[in-house]
Structure 1
Amino acid sequence: MAHYYRLFVSNFWSENVWLPPNTTWADVAPESSKIIQHTDHRHLFYPLPMALVMLALRYLFEKYWFTPIGLSLGIKNSKPKKAPANVVLEKAYATAKRWKHKQVQGLAKQLDMTERQVERWLRLRKGQNKPSTLTKFCENAWRCLYYFCSFIYGVVILWNKPWLWDINECWNGFPHQSVTSDIWWYYMISMSFYWSLCVSQFFDVKRKDFWQMFIHHIATIVLMCLSWVVNVWRVGSLVLVVHDSADIFLEAAKMAKYSGYQKICDTIFAIFTVLWIVTRIGIFPFWIIRNTSIEAPKMVPMFPAYYIFNSLLCLLLVLHIFWTYLILKIAYNSLNAGQMEGDIRSSSDDYSEDSKSQEKPES
């Protein structure tokens, strides 16, 4: 088994695939030069324990900071009313979460209940496992805090980096580029956050784009890991800072909605929509992907891994287009309704009715 594993690893990490022509792994090893500090693939294990630290920090922030803030804003932590115990209805619910009218009629006749009573039981059963509005508020507050800090840190460390102002500098001297400590931390913390999301997503509020988000997290981690190993981290740093900017307003808009500040939510949502389109549908494809697809081949010799990176970037773009459709759909419905309705981007199917009743009147 060990022999086949080593054989697979040696073939998978072939220099002919991952490195430019006439370049070996020894050439880009951390100890290969005293002048250039190449990336170390062994450091990719650091984000795994760091992800556990990230989850612990989230727990502490949610319990001792975000929850008190949410309660002070009037957000209730009430649990949905549970459906009365009923073995027959529970068995039918386990079989199918949606019941046709004929099935409702049959169950009502079997249990000597009215159709209205059966439908009410189903409605209560669907809602009893939904998280409270306070829980959703805390989740969004955590992500908003992270994206804000990550974006600010990214802008600060990239401000004096030449590739922020001239993206062609991403390929100057490639693959022999020194990674600085600030970029190292930027990458490690970002990867630890996305690893933590891959875990917490299975326990957080379930949304309609659950699998799209999961694919997004995995694609981001794979892209960051491969770009780190092959020293394409300059492009990776630009992708990170472009992605973080709009997400700040996404989470902030959700927080405002759950808090009942509808007008503030609408304003932030409008800012988010514009910023999302500018960064995800404008800057990302027409600045970053355009450079990696058109300009990069003119400056560095092509190698197979180049097409892998570009494919992952295009996968992210496809997800962006899907989410843009959802955002524009919500924006259109909001204009017709006079306010933002539903959950933002992910079209959450578990937005609780009690959050609507908690909305505060606007002056």
Structure 2
Amino acid sequence: MAAIYKSFADTFWTESFWLPNNHTWKSLENKDNGIYYPQFHDLYVPFIVAAVLLLIRKIFENVVAYPLGKWYNLREKGYRPPPPDTVLEAAYRQIGKHPSHKDLQALSKRTDKGIRTIERWFRYRRLQGKYTPMKRFQETCWRFLFYFTAFYYGIYILWDKPWLWDTKECWYGHPFQHITSDVYWYYMVEMGFYWALVFSLMTDIKRKDFWEMVIHHVVTIGLMVFSWAGNMVRVGTLVLCCHDAVDYFMELAKVFNYLKYQKTCDALFVVFTVMWFITRLCIFPFKLIYTVGIESPMIIGMYNAMYLYVFLLMALQVLHVIWFYMICRMVYFYVITGKVQKDDRSSSEGEQSEEEENDNYYDETNKQNGVQSLQNGSTTKRDITMGLSGDSAPASS
């Protein structure tokens, strides 16, 4: 296995592809002269950082975010399930979460239940496995903390670096550019964070843009790994800062939305929209992609790996445009209604109304049937089934 891996690595990391002409990996090996160049073995460090960040996240969510959410009475219980029904359960798995009117009519004939009853059953079934507002709040608080800290730390360490103010400085002397310890750890922590996002992708709240996020994380990690190996760290730090500059505004807006501070949420959403346009649609393509695709060939010449870097950066830009389209939809909704629409990247539309209806309908059912479940825990499956069997509840939204 070791021989196979070495053969693959030697083929993949061929110098003629990754380095400018007449440069070798050996020329980038560190010597005892105080100058540090990125090394392949550094790429193991982000995995350790990712494990540490996941631990810190767990502690933060339980020690800081959870008590804060508790203070604001955020819901942390799971949602009550619908009554068991093998026919509807089979239909749910076969035709999906949102049956058409034709499907509802067919199910109504098969089960002798009203269409509205079946609609309610599907709504309650969709809530099973949904994350509660408390869980979403904890996750959002963690992302806000990281993006906020990462951005301002990045600005702090880059403030005295010439390439922050002149992107041409990213290429002078490339690839023989010394990496300082602050830049080293900035890169390692950022790379570790994205690895942590990949590791937790299956357990975090699943959003509508799940696959876009998978592509984003893979492209971002690929860019960071390749740029580290080829010592294109300077432009890499600018890409990281450009992304972190806007993300924490969205996360903070979500935090205030969960805490029911709607006006603050609306104001932060406006700031987020403006910042997204400036950073992702102006600075990123016209400064960062431009410096990689146009300025670097004029200074160091074009070589094979540069085409890959430009392609990956363009892939990120495509995602930026897709997400900006979602943001514009939210802005349109805000202008029309005066309220910020729920983030299009959240887990599912109409989820909040479904949650409220789940609680409200069960509460009404309990009152109508005289069930004192909170006092004596005597709610039975028959009581719930009787409550759900009627057709008096409003149709689905």
Task: Answer whether TM exceeds 0.5 for this pair.
Answer: yes
Encode CA deviations 1:140-171: one digit per residue, 9 max, x unaligned.
Answer: 11000000100111000001111111111111
Bigger Rg over Cα = 2
The whole-number CA distance in structure 1 between the counterparts of 2:40 and 2:210 is 30
Residue correspondence of structure 1 range 117-136 to structure 2 within 5 A: 117-136=117-136
Residue correspondence of structure 1 range 200-349 to structure 2 within 5 A: 200-343=200-343, 346-349=345-348
The whole-number CA distance in structure 1 between the counterparts of 2:115 and 2:348 is 24
Kindly provide the amino acid, as one letter, of the partner of residue 205 in structure 1.
I
The corresponding residue for 1:74 is 73
The whole-number CA distance in structure 2 between the counterparts of 1:355 and 1:36 is 58
The corresponding residue for 2:26 is 26
The whole-number CA distance in structure 1 between the counterparts of 2:156 and 2:300 is 28
The corresponding residue for 1:65 is 64
The whole-number CA distance in structure 1 between the counterparts of 2:355 and 2:112 is 34
Q: CA deviation at 1:189?
A: 0.4
The whole-number CA distance in structure 2 between the counterparts of 1:106 and 1:25 is 67
Residues 123 and 354 in structure 2, CA contact (< 8 A), matched pair in contact too: no
Residues 83 and 125 in structure 1, CA contact (< 8 A), matched pair in contact too: yes
The whole-number CA distance in structure 1 between the counterparts of 2:119 and 2:56 is 42
Encode CA deviations 1:288-344: one digit per residue, 9 max, x unaligned.
Answer: 111111111110022101111111111111111111111111111111011101215
The whole-number CA distance in structure 1 between the counterparts of 2:246 and 2:176 is 32
Kindly provide the amino acid, as one letter, of the partner of residue 56 in structure 1.
L
Q: CA deviation at 1:355?
A: 7.6
Residues 207 and 347 in structure 2, CA contact (< 8 A), matched pair in contact too: yes
The whole-number CA distance in structure 2 between the counterparts of 1:84 and 1:40 is 59
Unaligned runs of 5+ in 2: 358-397
User: How many pairs does the alignment contain?
Assistant: 356
The corresponding residue for 2:379 is none
The corresponding residue for 1:88 is 87
TM-score by length of 1: 0.94
Q: CA deviation at 1:200?
A: 1.3
Secondary structure of 2:348 counterpart: coil
The whole-number CA distance in structure 2 between the counterparts of 1:20 and 1:36 is 20
Q: CA deviation at 1:3?
A: 4.8
Instruction: Decide which moves more: 261-270 or 196-205.
Output: 196-205
The corresponding residue for 1:38 is 37
TM-score by length of 2: 0.86
The whole-number CA distance in structure 2 between the counterparts of 1:6 and 1:84 is 57
The corresponding residue for 2:142 is 142
The whole-number CA distance in structure 1 between the counterparts of 2:242 and 2:173 is 24
Q: CA deviation at 1:103?
A: 2.6
The whole-number CA distance in structure 2 between the counterparts of 1:106 and 1:315 is 44
